[in-house]
A = this chain, B = another copy of it.
Amino acid sequence: MEQTIRVKAPASVSNLSCGFDVLGLALAEPFDVIELALTASGRVEIEKIRGCETLSTDPEENVVGAVLRAIAVATGGKTGFRVILEKGIRPGSGVGSSAASSAAAAYAANYLLGNRFNATELVRFAMEGERLASGAAHADNVAPALLGGITLVRSYDPLDIVRLHVPRELYCVVIHPETEVKTAVARDLLDRQLPLETAVRQWGNVGGLVAGLYSEDYDLIGRSLEDFVAEPKRAALIPRFSEIKSSAIVSGALGAGISGSGPSVFALCRGEDTAVTVMQSMREVMLASGIGFEAYMSPVNMAGAEKI
* Bound Cα distance from A202 to B305, whole angstroms: 29
Given contacts A165-B214, A208-B160, A223-B160, contact A200 B22 (CB under 8 A): yes
Given contacts A194-B196, A196-B229, contact A165 B215 (CB under 8 A): yes
Interface: A205 (CB within 8 A): yes
A119 to chain B, nearest CB (A): 15
Q: Is B211 within 8 A of A22, CB to CB?
A: no
Residues from chain B with a CB closer than 8 A to the CB of A204 are: 21-22, 152-155
Interface: A19 (CB within 8 A): yes
Interface segment, one of A44-52, A89-97, A110-118, A185-193: A185-193
Q: Is A199 within 8 A of B201, CB to CB?
A: no
Q: Is A211 within 8 A of B155, CB to CB?
A: no
* Bound Cα distance from A207 to B214, whole angstroms: 11
Q: Could you tell me which residues of chain A, from 125 to 164, have a CB within 8 Å of some CB in chain B?
A: 152-156, 160, 162, 164
Q: Is B223 within 8 A of A152, CB to CB?
A: no
Q: Is A203 within 8 A of B22, CB to CB?
A: yes
Among A19, A152, A224, max chain B CB count under 10 A is at A152
Tell me the nearest residue of chain B to A217, going by C-beta: B162
Interface: A220 (CB within 8 A): yes
* Bound Cα distance from A160 to B200, whole angstroms: 14
Given contacts A196-B192, A215-B214, A229-B196, contact A207 B152 (CB under 8 A): yes
A25 to chain B, nearest CB (A): 13
Tell me the nearest residue of chain B to A191, going by C-beta: B196
Copies of this chain, tallied across the complex: 2
Q: Is B195 within 8 A of A193, CB to CB?
A: yes
Interface: A210 (CB within 8 A): yes
Residues from chain B with a CB closer than 8 A to the CB of A210 are: 206-207, 210-211, 214
A29 to chain B, nearest CB (A): 26
A151 to chain B, nearest CB (A): 10
Interface: A20 (CB within 8 A): yes
* Bound Cα distance from A83 to B220, whole angstroms: 38
Residues from chain B with a CB closer than 8 A to the CB of A193 are: 193-196
Checking B21, B22, B200 against A20 with a beta-carbon cut-off of 8 angstroms, the contacting residue is B200
Interface: A23 (CB within 8 A): yes
Residues from chain B with a CB closer than 8 A to the CB of A206 are: 203, 206-207, 210
9 examples of A-B residue contacts, CB within 8 angstroms: A22-B200, A154-B208, A164-B207, A190-B196, A193-B193, A196-B229, A199-B199, A199-B229, A214-B215
Interchain residue pairs A-B with the least CB separation, the first 8:
A214-B214, A154-B208, A203-B203, A199-B199, A210-B210, A193-B193, A203-B206, A22-B204
